[in-house]
A and B are shown apart, each in its own frame.
Chain A
Amino acid sequence: MKISLRRIAKSYGGQCVFRSLDFNVEFEHTLALVGPSGGGKSTLLRLLAGLELPDSGEIRIDGDLIPSDESGLRAHRQKLGVVFQAYNLFPHLTALQNIRLPLEQVHRLSAQEADSRAKQFLARFQLLNHAGKQPAQLSGGQRQRVAIARALAVDPTFLLLDEPTSALDPEMTAEVLDVIAELRTSEKPIILVTHEIGFARHTADLVALVADGGIPECSPATEFFDQPQHATTRRFLQRVLKY
Chain B
Amino acid sequence: MTADFLFDRPRKPAGLFGKSFSIALLLAGYSALCWLAFSESLRNWEKVWSYRETFWNGWLTTVQISAAALVLSSLIGGATALARRSNFLPLRYTAIAYVETVRGLPLMVLVLFGFYGVANALGWQDRVSAGIVILSLFSGAYIAEMIRSGIESVGRSQWDSARAIGLTPTQTYRFVVFPQVLRQILPPLAGQFSSLIKDSSLLYIIGIPELTFAANQVNSATYSTFESFVPLGICYLLLTLPVSLWTKRLEKKTRYET
Contacts and interface: CB of A to CB of B under 8 A. Distances in A.
Interface of A: 49, 51, 74-75, 77-78, 82, 84, 86-92, 101-102, 105-106, 134, 136, 150, 154
Contact of B167 (A87, A92, A106): A106
B179 A92 contact: yes
B168 A74 contact: yes
B135 to A, nearest CB: 31
Contacts of A78: 165-166
Given A90-B175, A101-B175, A106-B166, 14 more contacts: A49-B164, A74-B166, A77-B163, A78-B165, A82-B161, A82-B164, A84-B157, A90-B158, A90-B161, A91-B256, A91-B258, A105-B167, A105-B175, A136-B258
Question: What 8 A-B pairs have minimum CB-CB distances, sorted nearest first?
Answer: A78-B166, A136-B257, A87-B157, A82-B164, A102-B165, A106-B166, A92-B179, A77-B166
A84 B157 CA distance: 8
Contact of A136 (B165, B171, B183, B256): B256
A154 B257 contact: no
B160 interface: yes
B180 interface: yes
Contacts of B171: 105-106
A56 to B, nearest CB: 22
Contacts of B258: 87, 91, 136
Contacts of B162: 90
B10 interface: no
Contact of B164 (A77, A86, A101, A134): A77
A88 B256 contact: no
Contacts, number: 62
Contacts of A92: 179-180, 183, 256
B206 interface: no
A189 B157 CA distance: 24
Interface in B145-190: 155, 157-158, 160-168, 171, 175-176, 179-180, 183
Nearest to B183: A92
Contact of A87 (B161, B166, B183): B161
Contact of A88 (B157, B180, B183): B157
Interface in B206-258: 256-258
A102 B167 CA distance: 7
B179 A87 contact: no
B256 A134 contact: yes
Given A92-B179, A101-B175, A105-B171, A87 B165 contact: no
Contacts of A77: 163-166
A180 to B, nearest CB: 17
A51 B164 contact: yes
B186 to A, nearest CB: 12
Contact of B161 (A74, A88, A106, A134): A88
13 contacts: A77-B164, A77-B166, A84-B164, A87-B157, A87-B161, A90-B176, A92-B180, A101-B165, A105-B171, A106-B165, A106-B167, A134-B256, A154-B165
Contacts of B158: 87, 90
A52 to B, nearest CB: 10
Nearest to A82: B164
Contacts of A154: 165
Nearest to A79: B166
B256 A51 contact: no
A39 B175 CA distance: 34
Contacts of A49: 164
Nearest to B254: A92
Nearest to B155: A87
A74 B167 CA distance: 8
Contacts of B183: 92
Contacts of B180: 90-92
Contact of A86 (B157, B167, B176): B157
B178 to A, nearest CB: 10
A102 B180 CA distance: 17
A112 to B, nearest CB: 19
Contacts of A134: 256
Contacts of A88: 157, 161
Contacts of A75: 166
